């Protein structure tokens, strides 16, 4: 028999429905974690992907600490001490979690505990003096300049899709944008007359990026000949599919792979490979490291310096192949 509704006066909120049988009330550390994660999204502007990753890392830690309570350890996520965090890190190592993922988890822990310290909810950050695992720096995959030329020449400009795809490929290689920045471009962000665009990177940080002449021409043709017919004024997204909806990351990924095959590039290709190629080719032609850092939107120049290693590796290969006394 259905429960009778309880009447309430006008202007009053109805009484909350009783919790379903067997439902669990959120534990305190989860509520505190939610508060911190919300602040990352709304106050610091971190991306949903980063916030989601931090949530997974800290919920895993909180659940692991809860399981230790049955073994005599009574501390939860909010009260965890350095010994408990170190034990959890050893457990992650035993689970064969990659060093990169462990470092990210430690960054999440550090941010959460630092917030607790600033709020006066604990005295110390238990992660502060723990060493993060070392990472082996893998050189990013890049295309040769010849492969890039073949890729950019692949789209069929006699077709609407080819005009659009040519513009996207040229712009990605000309600017080094992230794929999310490329598909997220809006018309007000582009200044073709000035030869610049405004990109919004990680954490919604703005940067101005120059656009090369070839990319300007391809983008200008797309914006004047194709986009108005397809988008029909419904939104201001720069790149659209042939139904007029904004282009998605997945949609562009498929487009790039298809043109890579058409260009005869017989190795994996992705938007990030073009972004890496942009930086590497600039440095190979004498660009300043700081300028490349600014154009790519790197907060730390050490991130950009990895491309100098690619250049050095290529120089060494050329020397070994062609020097008579190598």
- Same domain for 92 and 50: yes
Give the residue from 84, 57, 56 showing the smallest Cα distance to 71.
Answer: 84
- Same domain for 174 and 92: no
Distance CA 79, CA 180 (A): 38
* pTM of the complete model beyond 0.85: no
pLDDT of res. 16: 37
Domain count across the chain: 2
Tens digit of each residue's pLDDT (9 = 90 or more) over 144-170: 899 999 999 999 999 999 999 999 999
- Same domain for 224 and 80: no
132 in a domain, yes or no? no
pLDDT of res. 296: 56
Rounded percentage of the chain residues whose pLDDT exceeds 70? 75
Q: Which of 3-12, 41-50, 77-86 has the lowest mean pLDDT?
A: 3-12
Tens digit of each residue's pLDDT (9 = 90 or more) over 62-106: 999 988 876 656 578 999 999 999 999 999 988 888 888 998 999
13 in a domain, yes or no? no
We report the CATH number of the domain holding residue 33 as 1.10.150
pLDDT of res. 209: 82
Q: Which of 10-14, 30-34, 91-95 has the lowest mean pLDDT?
A: 10-14
21 in a domain, yes or no? no
- Length, in residues, of the chain: 326
Is the pLDDT at 259 greater than 80? The verdict is yes
Distance CA 39, CA 107 (A): 16
- Same domain for 199 and 107: no
- Same domain for 58 and 196: no
150 in a domain, yes or no? yes
- Same domain for 46 and 112: yes
- Same domain for 164 and 76: no
130 in a domain, yes or no? no
Q: How far is CA 105 from the centre of its chain?
A: 16
276 in a domain, yes or no? yes
The predicted model gives 225-249 an average pLDDT of 93
Active-site amino acid positions:
178, 202, 272, 275, 298, 307
pLDDT of res. 291: 63
Is the pLDDT at 22 greater than 60? The verdict is no
Q: Which of 46-50, 71-75, 175-179 has the lowest mean pLDDT?
A: 71-75
Range of the domain at 210: 145-322
- Same domain for 166 and 264: yes
**Which of 100, 118, 136 is the C-terminal boundary of a domain?**
118
Alpha-carbon distances, residue 112 vs 10, 115, 216 (angstroms): 42, 5, 44
Please tell me whether residue 43 adopts helix, strand or coil conformation. Answer: coil
Tens digit of each residue's pLDDT (9 = 90 or more) over 263-283: 999 988 988 888 888 878 877
Distance CA 249, CA 81 (A): 41
pLDDT of res. 160: 94
Cβ-based neighbours of 171, under 8 Å, separated by 6 or more? 177, 182, 211, 215, 218, 219
pLDDT of res. 287: 67
């Amino acid at each position: 028999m259905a429960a009778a509704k309880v009447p309430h006066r006008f202007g009053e909120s109805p009484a909350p429905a009783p919790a379903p049988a067997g439902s669990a009330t959120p534990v305190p550390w989860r509520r505190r974690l939610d508060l911190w994660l919300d602040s990352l999204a709304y106050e610091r502007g971190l991306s949903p992907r980063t916030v989601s990753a931090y949530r997974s890392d800290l919920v895993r830690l909180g659940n692991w600490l809860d399981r230790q309570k049955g073994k005599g350890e009574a501390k939860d996520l909010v009260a965890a001490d350095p010994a408990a965090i170190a034990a959890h890190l050893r457990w992650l190592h035993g689970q064969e979690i990659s060093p990169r993922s462990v470092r990210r988890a430690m960054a999440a822990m550090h941010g959460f505990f630092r917030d607790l310290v600033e709020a006066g909810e604990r005295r110390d950050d238990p992660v502060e003096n723990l060493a993060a695992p070392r990472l082996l720096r893998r050189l990013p995959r890049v295309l040769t300049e010849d492969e890039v030329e073949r890729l950019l020449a692949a789209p069929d400009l006699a077709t609407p899709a080819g005009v659009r795809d040519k513009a996207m490929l040229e712009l990605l290689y000309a600017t080094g944008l992230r794929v999310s920045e490329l598909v997220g471009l809006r018309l007000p962000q582009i200044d073709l007359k000035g030869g610049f665009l405004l990109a919004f990177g990680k954490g919604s940080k703005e940067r101005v990026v120059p656009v090369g002449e070839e990319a300007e021409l391809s983008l200008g043709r797309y914006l004047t000949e194709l986009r108005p017919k397809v988008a029909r004024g419904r939104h201001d997204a720069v790149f659209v599919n042939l139904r007029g909806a904004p282009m998605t990351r997945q949609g562009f990924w498929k487009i790039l792979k298809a043109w890579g095959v058409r260009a005869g590039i017989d190795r994996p290709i992705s938007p990030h490979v073009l972004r890496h190629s942009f930086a590497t080719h600039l440095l190979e032609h004498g660009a300043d490291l700081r300028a490349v850092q600014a154009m790519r939107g790197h907060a730390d120049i050490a991130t950009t310096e990895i491309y100098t290693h690619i250049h050095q590796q290529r120089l060494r290969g050329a020397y070994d192949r062609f020097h008579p006394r190598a």
